[in-house]
Amino acid sequence: MKNLFSTLFALGVACVTASALAQAPAATAQPGAKSIESRVAMCMGCHNIKGYRTNFPEVYEVPMIAGQNEKYIAAALTAYRSGERKHPTMRGVAGSLSDQDIADFAKYYSQLAGTTQLPDQPAKQPDAQVEALLKKANCMSCHGSNFSKPIDPSYPKIAGQHADYLFVALEEYKTESNPHFGRNNPIMGAMAKQFSNAELKLLANYVGSLDSELKTVPESRFHQR
């Protein structure tokens, strides 16, 4: 297809909003415990800055993860940690995370964008060429008719995701024998390998143009009092 403090309640709440955190009574906090916001600081430097771009393996906007499915975020981080997904920066970040960190981070970002519900069908319909590509790829069978209601929560919402990121992700599924770049997923790999890069770009541009439940939530929000 990265990239990202006060204390928690004594009950061990893993994910709280900035406002709730500010109101948390210090007397009920566990001494020395780090807040979720301090722990996700490594993620914020990329994923909470609007317009932030990375340049590996090419220049593209880092994905929006606020509002993404919790199970998908956890699955992606686990894949980066294991090396199933290859990306130097994300491997370095994920490699430092425990299973509990991954679960907490996934829950945090899944709730960060608030609640948005899209209609069952995209407002923007594809042209004939893109429609034929979508049918061949069978994207809706996994990601839903609006590309934001996947059949399994371990699959991502992709509607409105940055088109350049979607294209790079699809390229990764086609990539083989590269120690630094690629994603090992047989279903997505088989799908992506059917298409030229030009066709994948058409798919990415269409899906990226749709309304989205995903957002980039600026980091400055967390420091407001």
Q: What domains lie within the chain, and their CATH numbers? A: 18-223 (1.10.760.10)
What amino acid occupies position 105?
A: F
* C-alpha closest to that of 209 among 163, 153, 157: 163
pTM greater than 0.75: yes
What amino acid occupies position 216?
A: T
Question: What pLDDT is attached to residue 62?
Answer: 98
Q: Answer for the pair 28, 10: CB distance below 8 angstroms, yes or no.
A: yes
Question: What pLDDT is attached to residue 115?
Answer: 86
- Both tokens assigned to 25: 């009574």
d(CA 143, CA 33): 38
Return the SS3 of 90. helix
Low-confidence ranges of the chain (pLDDT < 70): 1-33, 220-225
Tell me how crowded residue 24 is: count the other CB atoms within 10 A of its CB.
18
Q: Which helix (H) or strand (E) holds 184?
A: none
Question: What pLDDT is attached to residue 34?
Answer: 84
d(CA 78, CA 85): 9
* C-alpha closest to that of 32 among 51, 55, 8: 8
Query: β-strands 182-183, 85-86: how paired?
Result: antiparallel
Question: What pLDDT is attached to residue 33?
Answer: 65
- Both tokens assigned to 2: 């990265």
Mean of all residue pLDDT scores within the chain: 86
Question: What pLDDT is attached to residue 4?
Answer: 36
* Nearest 10 degrees: Cα torsion 9, 10, 14, 16: -10
Q: Answer for the pair 1, 165: CB distance below 8 angstroms, yes or no.
A: yes
- Both tokens assigned to 208: 């990226």
d(CA 80, CA 88): 9
